[in-house]
Amino acid sequence: SAVISQKPSRDICQRGTSLTIQCQVDSQVTMMFWYRQQPGQSLTLIATANQGSEATYESGFVIDKFPISRPNLTFSTLTVSNMSPEDSSIYLCSARRAGGGYEQYFGPGTRLTVT
Amino acid sequence: KQEVTQIPAALSVPEGENLVLNCSFTDSAIYNLQWFRQDPGKGLTSLLLIQSSQREQTSGRLNASLDKSSGRSTLYIAASQPGDSATYLCAVILQGGSEKLVFGKGTKLTVNP
């Protein structure tokens, strides 16, 4: 398995500001992913982050709102830009190693509240 | 569009009981299916991964089965304990290259001492 940490674990932010969430994996991984878990809803993939290339965004998510960086094989960041109360969610990072049947491992999540 | 449904949404059982959680998916062209556990305020812990060519996987008191043709998976928990109380999530990856996990909304399990 992979051990994944996220910072911050939670934050309360004001409308219109931005927050950058960091995701660190304890070993090199091929793929990293960012998911959102809104209250009462299923986890939804925001984007897939490949090292050295642009992130691939899912329908309904755009780079201007959720810019992602992946500078190396163990680290990624997600920024939630120009926040509104609708962005209040748990944001989770996950990762997959080469091989292993595409099993994904998740970080502890970042609980974001926008006021 | 792949949809994943988990029934029941919540389940409360006495300690020691064996139980089954259900997961169904609409598109049988999956690459694999993964069961997770989520504790309140925490991230997801991977429990079991079943490849599309497999019928079941076991880990300790947990056994997951997969019937791809009917679009169903079950997670069997034997001799449940209060520490098993959590939300259990089922997710699938579709064939075709994307590694996107499509999740159900989960089953919230409470095991009472």
Q: What is the pLDDT of residues A49-94, one digit of tens each?
A: 988 778 999 999 999 999 999 999 899 999 999 999 999 999 999 9
| Whole-number Å distance between alpha carbons of B2 and B103 | 10
Q: Is pLDDT above 90 for A30?
A: no
Nearest CB to A102: which of B99, B105, B106?
B99
**pLDDT-above-70 percentage for chain B:** 99
Residue of A nearest to B102 (CA): A44
The residue that leads in pLDDT, B41 or B80, is B80
Minimal CA separation from A103 to chain B, in Å: 7
Q: Is pLDDT above 90 for B94?
A: no
Are the beta carbons of B43 and A109 closer than 8 angstroms? yes
| Whole-number Å distance between alpha carbons of B24 and B20 | 13
Quick one: which of B92, B97, B37 has its CA closest to B67?
B92
Are the beta carbons of B34 and B51 closer than 8 angstroms? no
**pLDDT-above-90 percentage for chain A:** 76
Contacts of residue A94 in chain B, CB cutoff 8 Å?
Answer: 44, 101
Are the beta carbons of B22 and B72 closer than 8 angstroms? yes
Beta carbons of A108 and B43 less than 8 Å apart: yes
Minimal CA separation from A42 to chain B, in Å: 5
Lowest mean pLDDT among A23-37, B36-50, B90-104: B90-104
Contacts of residue B100 in chain A, CB cutoff 8 Å?
Answer: 33, 45, 48, 58
Tell me the CA end-to-end span of chain B in Å, nearest whole number. 41
| Whole-number Å distance between alpha carbons of B13 and B24 | 22
CA-only gyration radius of chain B, Å:
14
Burial of A1 (0-12, 13-18, 19+ CB in 10 A): exposed
Quick one: which of A49, A8, A9, A34 has its CA closest to A93?
A34
| Whole-number Å distance between alpha carbons of A110 and A7 | 7
The residue that leads in pLDDT, B79 or B98, is B79
